[in-house]
Amino acid sequence: MPFGEVVCGSPGSGKSTYCHGKQQLFTALNRPISIVNLDPANENIPYPCAIDIASLIKLEDVMNEFGLGPNGGMLYCMEYLEANYDWLEDRLKELDKEDYVLFDLPGQVELSTNHPSVKNIIRKLTKGGFRLATVHLCDAHYVTDAAKYVSVLMLSLRAMLHLELPHVNVLSKVDLITQYGDLDFNLDFYTEVQDLSHLENLLNQQSPRFAALNVQICSLVEDYGLVGFETLAVEDKESMLNLTRVIDKATGCVFVPPPTTEQPPDTVDASHLPAAQRPNTYSLMSSAAGQMRGPRSDVRDVQERWIDAKDEYDVWEKAQWRKEGLKVQEEAARQKAKIRQRTPGANAPQEKKL
């Protein structure tokens, strides 16, 4: 049963960067991964793309042929993909059965909040056996403004209700949040969507005419009680690992290492079976059924790293990188020395030709 993610979010929220970072992380972890680009306007794809919708339809061609604008052309492309779903299905069958699949959606938010085509495509994928979770990326700088934060809450709630998948909302670019000003509350207030009545004074100061509307919107979000956020700094390994664990718990995905990997305790030896069939108690208890652990699993640690003591952590992190680089160089030198010792005549003097 293939697992994967549907990556959506507003333009500039970091969807393609996230997919690229996920591909690099999974490659380092020896987890097989494939990325499907479903954005017909994405011409500069930073990641290795297993399936590209551009081979089926391009936004520029649609705009030129039908005289549509960018938004109308994008809707047409998604409707065309839905009508030709067999094209996508055939190419997905060509991927390795053990691949973790990312679907990189376009940035038009109406595709994940109102328009039915993406929802219908996702429904067909799930009927085909995919276990998917929606990863909705929102730029973290929105939390520095009360009105923008409320709008992101409404957008996230609408996407959750529309796509009907296990849903993980993410405040991306949290490492850049201090560039946009100070927060009115601690970061956990925004990630856990705590008592929104505290925002009413801020909202009323910005737009006193809409005081009653602000109260109703905040009440609507709180009544559903569905919205919450994880944080992400895509260049931070611990942040990416923490988000990966959250998504794995949402989909029920348990990654079983390759048979060549050194097995930890409480592991059943079934190296002859494919990964999807190899029982592994350690993987099950440490990912799908275990508690979230790690330096970025607590939002208070995230606040300390990226907001309260960002400069100090940056200095400490650079020092750790230098130490790690020296260790890598020393290990490489030891490996070269071992190779010379094992190679006959490697250190013997060369005869000079007359």
Domain housing 217: 3-256+279-307
Q: Do 332 and 284 share a domain, yes or no?
A: no
Cβ pair 92, 131 in contact under 8 A? no
d(C-alpha 58, C-alpha 74), whole Å: 9
Q: How far apart are CA 252 and CA 284, in angstroms?
A: 9
Is 215 in the same domain as 325?
A: no
Pairing relationship of beta strands 229-231 and 131-139 according to DSSP bridges: unpaired
Query: Could you tell me if 315 and 226 lie in one domain?
Result: no
Domain count, the chain: 2
In this structure, what CATH number is given to the domain that contains residue 161? Answer: 3.40.50.300
Residue 347 forms part of a structural domain: no
Same domain as 7, residue 114: yes
One domain for residues 287 and 141: yes
pLDDT for the residue 32:
92
Euclidean distance between CA atoms 222 and 208, whole angstroms: 21
141, 173 Cβ separation under 8 angstroms:
yes
pTM of the model: 0.84
Residue 195 lies in a domain: yes
DSSP β-bridge partners for residue 52: 37
43 and 189 both lie in a single domain: yes
Instruction: Evaluate whether residue 114 is within a structural domain.
Output: yes
- Identify whether 349 is part of a domain: no
Distance CA 103, CA 78 (A): 13
The answer to whether residues 10 and 50 belong to one domain is yes
Determine, yes or no, domain membership for 289. Answer: yes
β-partners of residue 92 are none
Residue 174 lies in a domain: yes
Residue 348 counted as domain residue: no
Same domain, 104 and 128: yes
Q: Are 291 and 332 within one domain?
A: no
58 and 203 in a single domain? The answer is yes
Average pLDDT, 10 consecutive residues per value, the chain (354 residues): 91 92 92 94 90 94 93 94 95 92 93 94 94 95 91 94 95 92 90 87 84 88 91 92 92 74 60 61 53 74 89 89 87 85 62 52
Other beta carbons within 10 Å of 225:
8
Q: Residue 240 in contact with residue 21, Cβ under 8 Å?
A: yes
Residue 38, token pair as written in the block: 């479903």
pLDDT for residue 354: 47
Q: Are 277 and 251 in contact (CB under 8 A)?
A: no
Distance of alpha carbon 258 from alpha carbon 305, whole angstroms: 34
Angle CA(230)–CA(276)–CA(46) in degrees, nearest 5? 50
Q: Judge whether 191 lies within some domain.
A: yes
What per-residue confidence (pLDDT) applies to 151?
92
Are 117 and 19 in contact by the 8 Å Cβ rule? The answer is: no
Cα–Cα distance measured from residue 56 to residue 84, given in angstroms and rounded to the nearest whole number: 9
Q: Are residues 293 and 328 in the same domain?
A: no
In a shared domain, residues 142 and 154: yes
Q: How far apart are the first and last CA of the chain?
A: 69
- Tell me what pLDDT residue 85 has: 95
